[in-house]
Structure 1
Amino acid sequence: MEPLTDKQIRSSFVNCTKGEAGRMRLPADFAELPWGDLDFLGWIDPGAPLKAHLVLPREDGLVGITLRVPSTGRTSAVKSSLCHACLTGHASSGVTLFAAPLAGTAGREGNTVGTYLCADLACPLYVRGKRQPKLRHGRYEENLTLEEQIARTMDNLSAFADKVLGLR
């Protein structure tokens, strides 16, 4: 992914107001992000830990999505869960259900769509082996090439973005 500016990020959001986009905090390590290893930008808002954000490059431009992070109780470290984007297996606490208000009128009326994603939104780093999930056996072995795994992750996130935009 090419490095993004603050302005590019804030102007990409489709399911929040311009004011909300202006108030969100960028990742704490924004200046040091490993852009070459990222296919999308995802982070938990450091100023509002129950909010998260995704910025996806798509053919029609950047699409930013604001997400709600549920406040959860204890989860079992024995169970495992699978991220619906990158298909990385985690201990159950490593995957979170993120809910996104729909874009436009439907979102203002309270309609949402959700998906299970890596709790730290670091899918590109898991796919590339730069970060390891907290499972006894690590990331599952696949026969797909790295490029195919990246394409699958982006296809899955693009399908989620389509739902937020009301295209599916």
Structure 2
Amino acid sequence: MKPLTEREIRSAFVNCTKGEAKRLSVPRDLADRPWDDLDFLGWRDPQAPDRAYLVMPSGESHVGVQLRSSDTGSSQTRRSMCSMCVTVHTGGVSLLVAPKPGKAGKQGNSVGAYMCSDLACSLYVRGKKDAGVGGRLRESLTLEEQIDRTMTNLAAFIARVTA
């Protein structure tokens, strides 16, 4: 993924107002992100841990969605699988919910998916971040095919949000 500027990130969001996009917490370490290993940019809001954001390439531009986590802060001991990258975590998967854009979102319509809590799917798939014992299942897919699957799953989620 090519490095993004704060302006590009803020203009990518489809399920919040321009004012909300202007106020959201963009990571301060954009220059230090491992852009060559990222397929999308995902982060949690440090001031509001129940909020998360992701921005992914879409054609010549980017599309971003704001997310809410249903985590209550309790310690999870169950193993769960991320529906995007198929990484298994003990307590490291959250149900993240994105409100639909426009009138539908104002009426409370939303789309949810179980995702890596830290939104570091790209790093888990590439083996750059460790999910612990049994975190990455042995697969016959190549790394490129695993990356494609992750991006296809993420694109399908974004399509459900924007539909």
Say whether the fold is shared (TM-score over 0.5): yes
1:144 corresponding residue in structure 2:
141
2:51 corresponding residue in structure 1:
51
Contact 2:4 2:30 in 1 (8 A): no
5+ unaligned residues in a row in structure 2: which ranges? none
Out of 129, 132, 146, the position equivalent to 1:131 is 129
1:36 corresponding residue in structure 2:
36
5+ unaligned residues in a row in structure 1: which ranges? none
* DSSP-derived class of the 1:96 partner: strand
Contact 1:28 1:46 in 2 (8 A): no
CA deviations 1:77-124 (Å, max 9, x no partner) are 2x2110000000111x10000000001110111111100000000000
Q: TM-score, normalised to structure 2's length? A: 0.95
* DSSP-derived class of the 1:49 partner: strand
1:109 corresponding residue in structure 2:
107
User: Distance in 2 between the 1:21 and 1:70 partners?
Assistant: 21
State the shift of 1:76 in Å.
Answer: 3.9
With over 3 angstroms needed to count, the CA separation of the structure-2 counterparts of 1:81 and 1:139, relative to structure 1, is same
8-17 vs 25-34, greater mean Cα deviation = 25-34
* DSSP-derived class of the 1:158 partner: helix
Out of 88, 94, 97, the position equivalent to 1:96 is 94
Out of 147, 150, 160, the position equivalent to 1:153 is 150
1:66 corresponding residue in structure 2:
66
* DSSP-derived class of the 2:49 partner: coil
1:120 corresponding residue in structure 2:
118
When the two structures are aligned, how many residues end up with a matched partner?
Answer: 163
Percent identity, aligned pairs only, is: 55
User: Distance in 1 between the 2:148 and 2:61 partners?
Assistant: 17
Match of 2:113, as an amino acid? Answer: T
1:81 corresponding residue in structure 2:
80
Contact 1:24 1:47 in 2 (8 A): no
State the shift of 1:48 in Å.
Answer: 2.0
Match of 2:62, as an amino acid? Answer: L
